[in-house]
Amino acid sequence: MSEQDDEPLDVLLREFFRDQLDVVRGRAEEHFRQHMRAASTTAWRRRVWLVGAFVSGLAASVAVLCAGPLFRHFERAPQLVRQDPPGPGPLAAAATLISPTFEKTVQSRTTDEGIVMLGDTPVRVVHRQSVERTRWFDGQDNVSAEEETPQDDVTLIKLTTY
Amino acid sequence: METPGKALVERARRKDPEAFAALIRAYERVVLSVAFGVLGDPAAAADLAQDAFIRAWERLDDLREPERFATWLCGIVRNLAIDCLRSRRPVEPLLGREPAADPRWTHDPTDEVGRREQLAQVAAAIAALDEVSRPAIVLRYYEGLSSRQIAELLETSPAAIDMRLSRARKQLRAILGDLMREPKSVHEKG
């Protein structure tokens, strides 16, 4: 079959494909440009969101940093008010110079020593021994001080006789 | 087919949208030809071409040889088209009818129905070709590519393309013989 014989077929096919496909040409480029615009918008929104999140986080951090000491002040203040200051002495004076963190413990023992006659009156003898220990410490300077106050009380309780 | 230079592909790989838009303009007919060759439907081919270019844009980093951009792009188109064929439900295509089987067929130049029938006959004849010959025929007659160029795009040999084109023409002549003997072509009507 010669080229001449194929000519009508060639013409028919060329016209057919032109008829079918020329009408849909140009869509791909337009679609690509739309895709790029959409991608750009999405990227811009994501960037705005990230910047917003970062700024919000930063603001929250700054707020916490600013408010932190205030909260710590409120946490410590009741301790200072509640605790009686130690008695006069060099340690008490020192305690006022260092960080106000301190602890106070009291250990005591009470014993019943029985009934004795005090003249004509029977009395019960109650013996109480205690040690009050106060410790100040400053974590920042790693300094601590300690004071112990022993106490020994004897209480006589008058007993009623019938 | 005028092939854009490697430089344009390299610019597109560096995410230059204008360079890629130029590539789209250069290769749209090729992509449409391959897609239409596989799918047999111009609207579906246009949709697939859009998707194929977007996929190519997103995967340009995978392109190892920029000078083989067209071949790489046609590979994307073929894969997408095959996926599309697998996923879509079978439809009665424009191309499904037996050529010259409809007694209402007419050559009246004013008869739009007759023109559509002619188009349907050509479409049906093309649809009857095998899946390699169809894209080759479209690339030859729509884009006007040589056998060597078609072979490069479809990743086969020029001899194989020549053979397939020859067989395809023979088959089309046999199916469309009556239509070709008609005095007017399908586009000479308003």
Q: What is the pLDDT at residue A6? A: 66
Q: What is the 3-state secondary structure (H, E, C) of B156-186?
A: CCHHHHHHHHHHHHHHHHHHHHHHHHCCCCC
Kindly tell me if the per-residue pLDDT of B110 is higher than 90: no
Residue A69 lies in a domain: no
Decide if A14 and B142 are in contact by the 8 Å CB cutoff: yes
Asked if residues B69 and B23 have their Cβ atoms less than 8 Å apart, the reply is yes
**pLDDT tens digit sequence for A113-149:** 888 888 888 888 999 999 999 888 877 777 888 888 9
pLDDT of residue B109: 53
Three-state DSSP at A117 gives strand
Residue A35 with chain B: CB contacts under 8 Å: 54, 57
* Claim: this prediction has a pTM higher than 0.80: no
Q: Are residues B120 and B158 in the same domain?
A: yes
Residue A141 lies in a domain: yes
pLDDT band per the 50, 70, 90 thresholds, residue B150: very high
Judging contacts by C-beta atoms under 8 Å, the chain B residues touching residue A13 are 122, 137, 141, 172
What would the mean pLDDT of B163-180 be, rounded to a whole number? 88
B31 CB burial (10 A radius; 0-12, 13-18, 19+): buried
Residue B80 in tokens: 């997408």
In angstroms, rounded to a whole number, what is the distance separating the alpha carbons of residues A87 and A148?
A: 11
Average pLDDT score over chain B: 83
**In this model, does residue B96 exceed pLDDT 50?**
no
Beta-sheet strands, E only, within B8-160 = none
Give, in degrees to the nearest 5, the angle at Cα A13 between B171 and B167. Answer: 25
| B contacts of A34 (beta carbons < 8 Å) | none
Residue A75 placed within a domain: no
Q: Is A11 among the domain residues?
A: yes
**Contact between chains at A12 and B179 (C-beta distance less than 8 A):** yes
On chain B, the residues whose CB falls within 8 A of the CB of A40 are none
pLDDT for residue B164: 94
Minimal CA–CA distance to A28: which of B131, B30, B67, B75? B30
- B61 and B134 assigned to the same domain: no
Evaluate whether residue B29 is within a structural domain.
Answer: yes
B95 belongs to a structural domain: no
Identify the weakest region by mean pLDDT among A21-25, B19-23, B84-88, B111-115: B111-115
The residue ranking higher by pLDDT, B14 or B178, is B14
Domain contains A13 = yes
Q: Of B52, B71, B87, which residue sits at a domain end? A: B87
Q: What is the pLDDT of residues B27-62, one digit of tens each?
A: 999 999 999 999 989 999 999 999 999 999 999 999
**Chain A: residue whose CA lies nearest to B120:** A16
B135 and B81 belong to one structural domain: no
User: Which of A49-58, A126-135, B103-112 is the most confident on average?
Assistant: A126-135
What is the rounded distance in angstroms from the CA atom of residue B133 to the CA atom of residue B149?
14
Give A12→chain B minimum CA distance, Å.
Answer: 6
Residues from A in contact with B at Cβ < 8 Å: 1, 6, 8-21, 23-29, 31-33, 35-36
- Which residues, including other chains, have CB under 8 Å from residue B174's CB and lie 6 or more apart? none
Q: Which of A60-69, A85-94, B76-85 has the lowest mean pLDDT?
A: A85-94
Q: Work out the minimum CA distance from B30 to partner chain A, whole angstroms.
A: 11
| Residue B75 belongs to domain with CATH number | 1.10.1740.10
Among B112, B122, B118, CA closest to B183 = B118
Q: What total of structural domains would you count in chain B?
A: 2
Q: Which of A82-91, B47-56, B66-75 has the lowest mean pLDDT?
A: A82-91
Round to whole Å and give the CA distance between B177 and B171.
10
Domain extent, residue B126, equals: 112-181
Residue A100 has what pLDDT?
Answer: 58
pLDDT of residue A80: 43
B15 and B83 assigned to the same domain: yes
Which comes out higher in pLDDT, residue B55 or A61? B55
The CATH number of whichever domain residue B161 belongs to comes to 1.10.10.10
Residue A136 lies in a domain: yes
* Residue A59 sits in the same domain as residue A24: yes
Is A90 in the same domain as A31? Answer: no
Whether B186 and A16 lie within 8 Å, measured CB to CB = yes
Report CA-CA distances (Å) from A12 to B70, B105, B177, B181: 27, 17, 11, 11
Any domain includes B186: no
User: d(Cα B143, Cα B36) in Å, to the nearest integer?
Assistant: 12
Same-domain check for residues A91 and A154: yes
Chain centroid offset of residue B4 CA: 20
Which whole number is the average pLDDT over A68-72? 64
Same domain, B73 and B133: no
Give chain B positions within 8 Å (CB) of A27. 46, 49-50
CA atoms of B74 and B48, how far apart (whole Å): 12
Residue B81 has pLDDT above 70, yes or no: yes
The confidence score (pLDDT) of residue B79 equals 93
Which secondary structure element, helix H or strand E, spans residue A123, and what is its range? strand A121-138
Cβ count within 10 A of residue B164: 23
- Kindly state the average pLDDT of the residues A19-43: 88
Q: Looking at the structure, do residues B118 and B80 belong to the same domain, yes or no? A: no
What is the C-alpha separation between B82 and B90, in angstroms, rounded? 13
Write out the residue range of the structural domain in which residue A152 sits: 86-158
pLDDT at A104: 87
Residue B54 falls inside a structural domain:
yes
ipTM of the complex: 0.78
The domain boundary residue, chosen from B40, B71, B87: B87
Q: What are the backbone angles phi and psi of residue A155, rounded to the nearest 5°?
A: -115, 130
* B121 falls within a domain: yes
Residue B33 lies in a domain: yes
**Residues B116 and B82 placed together within one structural domain of the fold:** no
Average pLDDT over residues B70-85: 93
Report which of residues B165 and B93 the model is more confident about: B165
A102 shares its domain with A154: yes
Average pLDDT over all residues of chain A: 78
Is A142 within the bounds of a domain?
A: yes
Question: ∠ CA(B35), CA(B38), CA(B44), 5° rounding?
Answer: 50
A4 pLDDT exceeds 60?
A: no
> Are A59 and A97 part of one and the same domain?
no
Of residues A77, A81, A75, A156, the one with CA closest to residue A121:
A156
Band of the pLDDT at B108, cuts 50, 70, 90?
A: low
> For residue B111, what pLDDT band results from cuts at 50, 70 and 90?
low
Residues β-bridged to residue A146 = A135
Distance of CA A64 to the CA centre of its chain: 9
Domain boundary among B54, B87, B120: B87
Q: Let me know if residue A139 belongs to a domain.
A: yes
